[in-house]
Structure 1
Amino acid sequence: MRTHPGPLLGHGTAGAYHGGSGRPSPRSGDRPASGPRPPHGGRRSLTPPSIPSAHALAARPLAVLSCALLLGVFLGSGVAYFPFSIASLVVLVLGGVLWLSSGGRCSHGFGCLVFGVLLSGLASAALAQMKAEPPAWIRAAGAHKVDVIGVVEEPVRFGPDRAVVIVSVQRLALANRTVPVGGRIRLTVRGSVPPLVVGDVIECTTRLRPPRGLWNPAGYDYGAHLRRAGVHAVGSVTLDRDGTGLRILAHGFSSLMAAVDQGRARIRDAALRTLEDPIAGIYLALVTGESGYLSQDIRDAFMASGTTHILSISGSHLGLIGVVVFWGIRRVLLALPARLVLRLSRHTTATRVAAAATILPVTGYALLGGAEVATVRSLIMTLVALAAVLVGRSHSIGYGLALALVVIVGWDPLAPFDISFQLSFLSVLVIVMLMKVRRPRDEERIPGAARERRTWESLKAGTVDVLLVSLVVTLATAPFVATYFNQLAWVGGLSNLLVVPLVGFIVLPVGLLVCLATLLSGAGGELVGAAVVRPLLEVLVWVVQTFAAVPGAELRVASPPLWQIAGFFLLLGAALLWWRRGAGRLAGVLAGGMLLLWVWSPRDLPAAGSFRATFLDVGQGDAALVETADGRAMLIDGGGASDAYDAGRMVIAPLLWDRGIRRLDVVVATHPQLDHVGGLGFVLSKFDVGQLWTNGVAREAAFLYRLERIVTERQVP
């Protein structure tokens, strides 16, 4: 099957059929159907004639419209803070559109459409931010407890003896009546949580407060993240031993998501009852998308190995499952007796039947995983590819990516500010650009030569392509990983070559089959096939921990500033588009130089003759950092730590990495209370420490035993 090159985000890659006629595409040895014949009388060129300059932008309408929508969203997010600057930029964009339309690059109608999409993105983002403000009744409640009645709106995120519930509040229960209200709240429920599903009507008593993050220099604003997600207030409920504290007033059995939640609950109970830690947590993360049962050690190992995306139902999971299901069904159909295959071919083809049969499994898997942003993106792209096969048309990965962006941003205008959106779309965009660069090289080969090459040569070429994709995606996502996690996961370029196929083609299909068998069998709460999936997960853990143990795998860096991130992406894009030219290779070298600068992470020192004291917001507790001009640093206390929050991990360590501090000369533990020294455990385990000062008071507490163990292992004086 021949593939024809096409523009980025256009109709480029040909499928198995053309034009919907049902006839297969020409073989590589056949004469091309179009293209000018060279003057020397040879074969026609495989490259179609270039698109004329007139209306060139309209040749990629969805790509242009998706970019306009994205630009409008970014402008709309800042219109409340910089109204005059944003208005000036909008006028500038309007002038650019008019200039392009007058120059023949696009029609006037298409120019108006692009500008209208930009304005719609701007308006939708501005309105979404206005809706994120908490309603008046939440502000009026203050610090008082309120009785709320609402509906569970999203799949509940369960963990050991806790759950996070997103509730759409409908009414406030007063002494003798109920008052209708509106708003979304995030409840943290502790204790023996009942099996809540989407659509359940619940009642509870809690104190509500607007979401806010910790106010630290260059710290991650978790409150802003919740507000972008439409959460107006947060609260917590601690259930009594008999389960009182939260009442289920009505069950949501009618909705599709409620049925999915009930199936997910059965799988969760069976896995926790049958599998051991950490295998049970990894199985649930891979199959149902529930990450609440993952231990912190497992999270750290996957993070250090650059494979943390495996622990969520990401786009790669869905795509690989689609490939496995499509290939399996197609092979089964082709293995049928010749008489049945001939009868099937009179009406359709095995490829089309396989495409139609793949739609239900991939959609069901996306719903089982909670329909996160990366999953929805991959689902839309997969459905576009399957639809192209069904109608006998060629499809483009770029077209599917642009369509997914329009659908997701149209549904949630603030989604582009979420890290999962950024990493997911950036990874696929880089792959599209890499395919555009690699395609001309593939088309320069002599037709039919691929069949004549030896098997090991084909395997070698495929391995090089996979390695190149893994390395380029790792490089492209490095700025965001450094910004959000203070890490450069350089090992991920190698570890994903082994982990992704292992999970996508072995662990995940077997795990889903075990999940399906458990749901169909109803075997007393046991996970059917646990003996098969357990060793596979153990192999996965061993592989990940092996890569995580590579010296220097956990490479911690400072968060790069915005201008460096923008410069890196410009250089990387130039390197991908013009790699064969000297300018493209120079851009690649400069992008590599910026990575080395981030690895170096030079110290941010106070002015000569002065010192700097930073008092950190760690919630309940205290922590302060003192720095001198000669590079010495002292940390006084480290905030608190619990199962869900560790000030050392989430606040103190990121600040130290951002300032290029890798050694603390002195760490002071003022007194042995959890809210003062609980976070020091993580700091002492990740940084070189010269001395640890305490007040000499001894207490018996689990967090102090942990701190003493880390001091002994790290030999801190």
Structure 2
Amino acid sequence: MLGAPAIARPRPWRLAQWPSLAWKSISSAIVDAAEQRRLFVLLPFSLILGLVVYALLPSEPEPFHFTIGSLLVTGCLALAMLSHSLAGLRLAIQLCALWLGFCLLALHGLAFGTPMLSVPAYGTYTARVDEVLSADANGIRAVVSSMTSIDGARELPIRRARILLPAEPKVEVGDWISARIRLAAVPGPILPGAFDGQFHAYFSGIGAYGNAIGAVEVVTQGDDGDLARRVQALRNHIGQRIDLALEDASAAIGRAMMMGDQSAISDETRDVMAASGLAHVYSISGLHLSIVAGGIFWLLRLALACLPMALTWPNKQIAAIAGLSAAFGYLLLAGGMDNVPAFRSTLMLALIFGAVLAGRRALTMRNVAIAALVIILIDPASIFRASFQLSFAAVVALIGIYELPRLSPPATGGSVERALRFVSATAWTSFVAGAATLLFSAYHFQQTSPLGVLGSVPITGFPLLV
């Protein structure tokens, strides 16, 4: 049959066309996001880019560099506002976020940094207990401040120190102690590019590590009405109850899951949990907080629905307030803002329950961006830690998959079919989270867990399905 010659159409599966197709897809997604005013979610990435650029500098910038940069960024923002260009204004805002990220570590260092101890010190000192990190039969790990020398000991320029105290006497937050203390410099990275303890200790105000030698005297006890002291007393009580009911590795994992204390978990247990893909179980994060806060929300709403006089009450909002209160209480037990996964999860739950109270959609990438902005502004050095990277990588991937268009509505069926769909959805969730955190796990821990989906579905996924 005669006719016009067929036109050869490009085949999208050819390897040579993949880069162009990928670029078109990314560019169209950016244009679509700009048109729908979704560039807000890029603000955390701009902050992180500024932080990374600052950390990669070979030396500390001079003060006038920050002044010149601030003037340039302010000028760009002013020009964008005067030009009445929406695209230019959006670009200027991202540029301001990038510059703010570049300045954050320097500002955080001025506010919370400390001189680092370079020469070991030994002597008798008095100090105030700021935090009790863990307490067991091997000793009490605490962070102390306001160290004052006694009997001619060398004065220390540091603001705080992390020390190991004997198991007795029991010291609590707010106590003033006196002891002979041996201090040493905070160790740096053992290999180039490895974890830098000095970097993170500096931004936490910790200038030395050490331990007490001999007896420790509690000079003055803290105020029993102090919130931190009461929370620590509750943590100690919970730890004692766990030790009475469980033993060895079970007790250590119980402590980690209930109050965020992972100090008693042995290296052997960590290796087994990591190899099975269940290491996230003993790190308080979204799984635990969702079960606690979501369980309180569901149970209270069910109880209110059973009361005849509560039919006209805002039951959903009341249950949301109760769930949010439970989440913040669990965060206090987990260590507060020092526990980045728990803090991120609590912020996400606060945004979700806030959306419930306001009648808005809860699970969005904008809420993830807000949580990331808050954590980065409070603790910018946390972006270089594994907890921040793993936590947000998994959440961003899951929310991104959740926001993809559905190809078809979920089918209805019997109990067996619904159970299979639940298991498959949980397996898919575990696979997405594992794929998103794969590179971070390989970099920080030099190991991955390819069989994590098989272990996560029946063990950690079932409570979420119930």
Q: Same fold (TM over 0.5)?
A: yes
Q: Distance in 2 between matches of 1:466 and 1:504?
A: 9
Q: Distance in 2 between matches of 1:217 and 1:319?
A: 38
Pairs within 5 Å for 1:146-165: 146-165=123-142
- Structure 1 residue aligned with 2:331: 366
Deviation at 1:410, TM superposition (A): 0.8
Deviation at 1:62, TM superposition (A): 3.6
Amino acid at match of 2:52: F
Q: Distance in 2 between matches of 1:53 and 1:258?
A: 52
Equivalent in 343, 350, 374 of residue 315 of structure 2: 350
Q: Distance in 2 between matches of 1:121 and 1:377?
A: 19
Gaps of 5+ in 2: 1-27
SS in 2 for 1:211: coil
- Structure 2 residue aligned with 1:466: 426
Are the equivalent residues in 1 in contact too, given 2:183–2:208 (CA < 8 A)? yes
Are the equivalent residues in 1 in contact too, given 2:331–2:346 (CA < 8 A)? yes
Deviation at 1:480, TM superposition (A): 1.5
Q: Distance in 1 between matches of 2:121 and 2:70?
A: 45
Q: Deviations over 1:295-337 (max 9, x none)?
A: 333222211111111112122211222221111111112222x
SS in 2 for 1:232: strand
SS in 2 for 1:148: strand
- Structure 2 residue aligned with 1:402: 369
Number of aligned positions between the proteins: 433
SS in 1 for 2:247: coil
Q: Deviations over 1:577-616 (max 9, x none)?
A: xxxxxxxxxxxxxxxxxxxxxxxxxxxxxxxxxxxxxxxx
Are the equivalent residues in 1 in contact too, given 2:130–2:174 (CA < 8 A)? yes
Deviation at 1:394, TM superposition (A): 2.2
Are the equivalent residues in 2 in contact too, given 1:55–1:104 (CA < 8 A)? no
- Structure 2 residue aligned with 1:320: 291
Q: Distance in 1 between matches of 2:298 and 2:156?
A: 53
1:340 aligns with 2:309: yes
SS in 2 for 1:203: strand
- Structure 1 residue aligned with 2:227: 256
The structure where helix makes up a greater share of residues is 2
Amino acid at match of 1:320: I
Deviation at 1:454, TM superposition (A): 3.8
Deviation at 1:253, TM superposition (A): 2.2
Are the equivalent residues in 2 in contact too, given 1:156–1:198 (CA < 8 A)? no
Q: Distance in 2 between matches of 1:297 and 1:432?
A: 34
- Structure 2 residue aligned with 1:440: 406
Are the equivalent residues in 1 in contact too, given 2:80–2:92 (CA < 8 A)? no
SS in 1 for 2:143: strand
- Structure 2 residue aligned with 1:698: none
Are the equivalent residues in 2 in contact too, given 1:315–1:374 (CA < 8 A)? yes
Q: Deviations over 1:73-99 (max 9, x none)?
A: 222223453869x99999999999999
Q: Deviations over 1:167-202 (max 9, x none)?
A: 22x24224389979651211122x324333332233
Equivalent in 157, 167, 173 of residue 149 of structure 2: 173
1:117 aligns with 2:97: yes
Q: Deviations over 1:523-572 (max 9, x none)?
A: xxxxxxxxxxxxxxxxxxxxxxxxxxxxxxxxxxxxxxxxxxxxxxxxxx
Amino acid at match of 2:244: R
Deviation at 1:406, TM superposition (A): 1.1
1:234 aligns with 2:212: no
Are the equivalent residues in 1 in contact too, given 2:186–2:201 (CA < 8 A)? yes
Are the equivalent residues in 1 in contact too, given 2:73–2:99 (CA < 8 A)? no
1:211 aligns with 2:186: yes
Pairs within 5 Å for 1:33-432: 56=34, 59-60=37-38, 62-79=40-57, 81=59, 106=87, 108=89, 110-129=90-109, 134-135=114-115, 138-139=117-118, 142-168=119-145, 170-175=146-151, 183-189=159-165, 191-213=166-188, 215-216=190-191, 219-239=194-214, 244-336=215-307, 339-342=308-311, 345=312, 348-371=313-336, 372-432=339-399
Q: Distance in 1 between matches of 2:274 and 2:391?
A: 16
Are the equivalent residues in 2 in contact too, given 1:195–1:265 (CA < 8 A)? no
Q: Distance in 2 between matches of 1:162 and 1:473?
A: 37
| RMSD of aligned residue pairs (Cα, Å) | 3.7
SS in 2 for 1:154: strand
Are the equivalent residues in 1 in contact too, given 2:125–2:150 (CA < 8 A)? no
Change (3 A) 1:116 1:220: closer
SS in 2 for 1:409: helix
Q: Deviations over 1:87-135 (max 9, x none)?
A: 9999999999999997955353x54443333222211213435678653
- Structure 1 residue aligned with 2:457: 497
1:481 aligns with 2:441: yes
SS in 1 for 2:206: coil
Q: Distance in 2 between matches of 1:482 and 1:54?
A: 34
Deviation at 1:467, TM superposition (A): 1.1
Q: Distance in 2 between matches of 1:313 and 1:484?
A: 19
Q: Distance in 1 between matches of 2:333 and 2:198?
A: 27
- Structure 2 residue aligned with 1:544: none
Q: Distance in 2 between matches of 1:429 and 1:488?
A: 20
Are the equivalent residues in 2 in contact too, given 1:132–1:231 (CA < 8 A)? no
Q: Distance in 2 between matches of 1:195 and 1:282?
A: 23
Are the equivalent residues in 1 in contact too, given 2:286–2:341 (CA < 8 A)? yes
Gaps of 5+ in 1: 1-49, 507-717
Are the equivalent residues in 2 in contact too, given 1:305–1:489 (CA < 8 A)? yes
Deviation at 1:403, TM superposition (A): 1.2
Deviation at 1:58, TM superposition (A): 7.8
SS in 1 for 2:322: helix
Q: Deviations over 1:489-540 (max 9, x none)?
A: 112122111221356689xxxxxxxxxxxxxxxxxxxxxxxxxxxxxxxxxx
Amino acid at match of 2:144: V
Q: Distance in 1 between matches of 2:84 and 2:414?
A: 51
Pairs within 5 Å for 1:590-629: none
TM score, norm. by length of structure 1:
0.54
Amino acid at match of 2:50: G
Change (3 A) 1:331 1:117: same
Larger Rg computed on CA atoms? 1
Q: Distance in 1 between matches of 2:418 and 2:384?
A: 41
Are the equivalent residues in 1 in contact too, given 2:159–2:207 (CA < 8 A)? yes
Are the equivalent residues in 2 in contact too, given 1:416–1:422 (CA < 8 A)? yes
Amino acid at match of 1:154: E
